[in-house]
Amino acid sequence: MRAMVVTNPRPVEQEPLEPVEVPIPEPGPGEVLVRVEVCGVCRTDLHVAEGDLAPRRRRVIPGHEVVGRVAGRGPGAERFREGDRIGVAWLHRACGACRFCASGRENLCLEPLFTGWDVDGGYAEYAVVPEAFAHALPDERPAAELAPLLCAGIIGYRAWRRSGVQPGGVLGLWGFGGSAHVTIQVAVHRGCRVHVFSRGDTHQELARELGAASVAGSFDPPPEKLDGAILFAPAGELVLPALEALDRGGVLAVAGIHLSEIPPLDYQRHLFQERELRSVTANTREDAAALLRLAAEIPIRTHTVPYPLADANRALLDLKQDRIRGAAVLQP
């Protein structure tokens, strides 16, 4: 099968993804083989390709927003039939036995495996996933529309919950890429006023289309105090203006797996009056199930830009340079 692999992480301008031909993987016990229809392009893939996330193996196929069809089943795999449409997300497997898994917090598992980092992902024609960590997907929606839900959507949903903003509250979003353009739809559906802070006319235009109450630059003050905020951009310097924009008791949730250095905080300006800074770490399967239910209820409409699989480096470069309106998807 055709695949794009990262062997030596380096700046995406130097094309770290290499095209290869590799054998179709064999599903093991409890696993299913997925024929990939599309794979979303996530900023985490960029971090893997460039080495911001330390390599977990010498050669890996990135990609963890996989929409595809079951093409084979390993021993004991009975949850899905061949031909069923399923999704593969970031959490490939949790141990199920540590204190975090036992308390319903498998996103904090002590021995997790992640798709496209620890194990091969969806920048390929086929992928393998434990059936217990796959997600049933509807047949009626285009595959490209579903792909961003599987990480951008799930992480955005968890970040929205971590922000503590209640229905009817005031939410701020810093950065407006694949994740934020899903999250704003969830927040607006729950009656929130959403203020977006982003660079680039393309992102700002999309934010207005999706119901933002206001749109401004990344360091501009909001028109009102925020009950909560989410930082999607991997820029640590944005933590300060986001914290300063919070009302008393407000929470800033940082949604990225990687963040540049945060400048020194001033206690009175940024944290006093019980403002909080929280991280968001991976997701649980229940987060995924809840987001997919919401996606059907609202319904969430994703905006995607397609690229051939062979153009994965170009897709990551466009992501890095903020040229993508919504989210990119790769088509094998």
Which candidate, 84, 47, 87, places its Cα nearest to that of 64?
87
Cis before 11 (ω within 30): no
Contact 276, 251 (CB under 8 A): yes
Q: Note the CATH architecture for domain 153-279.
A: 3-Layer(aba) Sandwich (3.40)
Proportion of the chain above pLDDT 90, given as a percent: 98
The overall average pLDDT reported for the chain is 97
- Tell me the pTM: 0.94
Strand partners, 82: none
Contact 144, 167 (CB under 8 A): no
- Positive or negative, the Cα torsion across 41, 252, 243, 225? positive
Residues of the chain predicted below pLDDT 50: none
Max CA-CA distance within the chain?
59
Sketch the domain layout of the chain as residue ranges. Answer: 2-137+302-331, 153-279
Name the strand (E) or helix (H) holding 156. Answer: helix 152-163
Q: Note the CATH architecture for domain 2-137+302-331.
A: Alpha-Beta Complex (3.90)
Contact 284, 161 (CB under 8 A): no
